[in-house]
Amino acid sequence: MAATRERIMGRDIEFNIDNLDELSFNRVVNFVNEQWIEVKKENFNVPDTQKIAALTAVKIAAELLKLKDLQESISNNYDKKIKDLIRQLDESYCAN
């Protein structure tokens, strides 16, 4: 089991990184820390770091869900176009 210790959201945390290469893991850590800093700035009057961490998680989850919805919409659009093309090909083939 590959493990590493990183500073994330102001705390040293040990992570199991078996499922990620080091570069991907570092990108994730940097992204989370950037989001945390942004949330801290937006909520400067909130001293509770656990609340800031929860707000950060919600912000990241909302962004993820938005991207998943977009991906699903794009996928559905492509599926519809493919079915339309298949229908047109079928109609063209039957007409000949």
pLDDT tens across 56-95, in order? Answer: 999 999 999 999 999 999 999 999 999 999 999 988 888 7
Q: Structure pTM?
A: 0.72
pLDDT band at 29 (very low <50, low <70, confident <90, very high): very high
3-state class (DSSP) for residue 6? strand
User: Mean pLDDT across the chain, nearest whole number?
Assistant: 90
The domain of 9 spans 3-95
Q: Are 29 and 16 in contact (CB under 8 A)?
A: no
Apex 54 CA angle, 52 and 55, nearest 5: 65
**Amino acid 93: pLDDT:** 82
13 phi/psi in degrees, rounded to 5:
-130, 140
Token digits of residue 21: 């290469």
Share of the chain above pLDDT 70, in %: 98
Apex 24 CA angle, 20 and 26, nearest 5: 110
How many folded domains does the chain comprise? 1
